[in-house]
């Protein structure tokens, strides 16, 4: 079935509509050559239309893609990408000039878009564009109830992870190291977290603008100075806001598995996986007790920070995603060491 992606500036990109499901959202792009399964199930993409820039997607098996592979060839293969998308009710437009879409977004910035059938009436198109994109989507992707992963290590640090849309491999990575982890919903109060008496607190990744969830920022404020804290991605941004810094929207964000990050403490450069559209304003850190520890090599934006006196640190990227593959796992080791030091 013929379909098209229409951007709010009037640009139109034609393709094939897989399952006749319409879509509305912010159009973004991911530059990774692999990892489409991870990208398509990442809660941080909630309410977005994802353009996958690699030309063939589905070959080891959702959403604007160049070419949809119908026959997978990998020993992990269980079902086709097309079947998965249809079963999950995920809209998919394929055989699209994704390079043209990406160039448009890079030049003009992320913008609202819709996916509709080729013959969609103008009235329907106008109605879809008239509906604003929902902003506060953290509550859509957080866990509905708390759960705990026990540790086999007797001396395991106990961490409460606040789930703002956490990727499961983050939890798995910490658990594999030996942490005991209780994952709690995003609406959990600081008092409830502290009542569990954890050794440390983890603030997870998640979708959207951190300024859209001021109620969460207020709870994070109450946690500062109470327990050691480690934040990733949205958690990093929420931590910055809670300590008085500011965030801003990037023109087209950082989304992909090939983002170079420099650790200013060692001079080492790591290849990282990222998925975010906002960044911490470095100028706003000037009079705060926060030190920038990591920067993005491409554009110099803040990728990590650490409190000067309290056991608090955060990074903007995903150390668990393993594009290195294990280059950035040292951050979880640092969190472990921080918690053990506090005993």
pLDDT tens per residue, range 133-180: 888 899 999 999 999 999 988 889 999 999 999 999 899 999 999 999
CB within 8 Å of 301: residues ≥ 6 apart: 250, 254, 279, 280, 282, 295, 316
Across the chain, what does the average pLDDT equal? Answer: 90
What are the tokens at 203? 């603030």
Instruction: Answer yes or no: is pLDDT of 322 > 70.
Output: no
261 phi/psi in degrees, rounded to 5: -125, 135
**What is the arithmetic mean of pLDDT over 29-49?**
85
What are the tokens at 315? 């990074």
pLDDT tens per residue, range 270-303: 999 899 999 999 999 999 999 999 999 999 999 9
Pick from 75, 30, 77, 32: which is nearest to 58 by CA?
A: 77
**What is the arithmetic mean of pLDDT over 89-107?**
92
- State residue 35's pLDDT score: 74
Q: With pLDDT > 70 as the criterion, what percentage of the chain qualifies? A: 92
- State residue 187's pLDDT score: 96
Q: pTM score, two decimals?
A: 0.89
Catalytic residue among 254, 294, 307, 318: 318
Partners of 149 in the β-ladder: 181
Pairwise CA distance, residues 90 & 317, whole Å: 26
What is the DSSP secondary-structure string of 18-36?
Answer: SS---EEEEEEEE--SS-H
Contact predicate 324/270, CB 8 Å? yes
Task: Kindly indicate the confidence band of residue 83, based on its pLDDT and cuts at 50, 70 and 90.
Answer: confident
Contact predicate 51/98, CB 8 Å? yes
Task: Kindly indicate the confidence band of residue 112, based on its pLDDT and cuts at 50, 70 and 90.
Answer: very high
Pick from 63, 65, 62: which is nearest to 25 by CA?
A: 63
- State residue 178's pLDDT score: 94
Contact predicate 159/229, CB 8 Å? no
Catalytic residue among 26, 219, 303, 320: 320
Return the higher-pLDDT residue of 186 and 320: 186
Instruction: Answer yes or no: is pLDDT of 76 > 80.
Output: no
- State residue 163's pLDDT score: 97
Instruction: Answer yes or no: is pLDDT of 327 > 80.
Output: no
* Sign of the alpha-carbon dihedral angle for 252, 255, 258, 261: positive
Domains and CATH numbers, the chain: 2-130 (3.50.30.20), 138-341 (3.40.50.880)
Q: Is 318 a catalytic residue?
A: yes
pLDDT tens per residue, range 167-217: 998 999 999 999 999 999 999 999 999 999 999 999 999 999 999 999 999
- State residue 73's pLDDT score: 47
Element housing 190 (H / E): helix 190-195
Q: Is 233 a catalytic residue?
A: yes
Q: Is 236 a catalytic residue?
A: no
Catalytic residue among 26, 38, 219, 233: 233
- State residue 300's pLDDT score: 97
Region of 14 (left: φ > 0; alpha: ψ -120 to 50; beta: rest) is beta
């Amino acid at each position: 079935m013929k379909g098209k992606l229409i951007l709010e500036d009037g640009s139109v990109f034609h393709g094939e509509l897989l399952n006749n499901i319409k879509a509305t959202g912010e159009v973004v792009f991911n530059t990774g050559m692999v990892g489409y399964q991870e990208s398509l199930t990442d809660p941080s993409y909630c309410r977005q239309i994802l353009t996958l820039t690699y030309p063939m997607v589905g070959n080891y098996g959702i959403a604007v893609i160049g070419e949809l592979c119908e026959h997978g060839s990998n020993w992990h293969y269980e079902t086709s990408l097309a079947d998965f998308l249809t079963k999950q009710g995920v809209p998919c437009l394929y055989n699209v000039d994704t390079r043209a879409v990406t160039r448009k977004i890079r030049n003009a910035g992320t913008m609202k878009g819709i996916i509709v059938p080729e013959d969609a009436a103008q009235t329907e198109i106008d109605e879809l564009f008239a509906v604003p994109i929902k902003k506060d989507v953290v509550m859509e992707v957080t866990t509905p109830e708390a759960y705990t992963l026990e540790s086999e290590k007797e001396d395991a640090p106990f961490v409460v992870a606040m789930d703002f849309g956490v990727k499961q491999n983050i939890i798995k990575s910490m658990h594999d190291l030996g942490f005991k982890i209780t994952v709690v919903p995003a609406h959990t109060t600081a008092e409830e977290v502290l009542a569990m008496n954890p050794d440390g607190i983890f603030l997870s990744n998640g979708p959207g603008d951190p300024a859209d969830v001021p109620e969460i920022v207020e709870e994070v404020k109450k946690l500062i100075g109470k327990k050691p804290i480690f934040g990733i991605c949205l958690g990093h941004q929420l931590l910055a806001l809670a300590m008085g810094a500011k965030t801003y929207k990037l023109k087209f964000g950082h989304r992909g598995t090939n983002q170079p990050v420099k650790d200013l403490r060692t001079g080492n450069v790591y290849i990282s996986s990222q998925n975010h559209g906002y960044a911490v304003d470095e100028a706003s850190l000037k009079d705060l007790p926060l030190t920038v520890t990591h920067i993005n090599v491409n554009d110099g934006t803040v990728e990590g920070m650490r409190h000067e006196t309290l056991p608090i640190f955060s990074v903007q990227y995903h150390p668990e995603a393993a594009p290195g593959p294990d280059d950035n796992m040292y951050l979880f080791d640092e969190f472990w060491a921080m918690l053990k030091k506090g005993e």
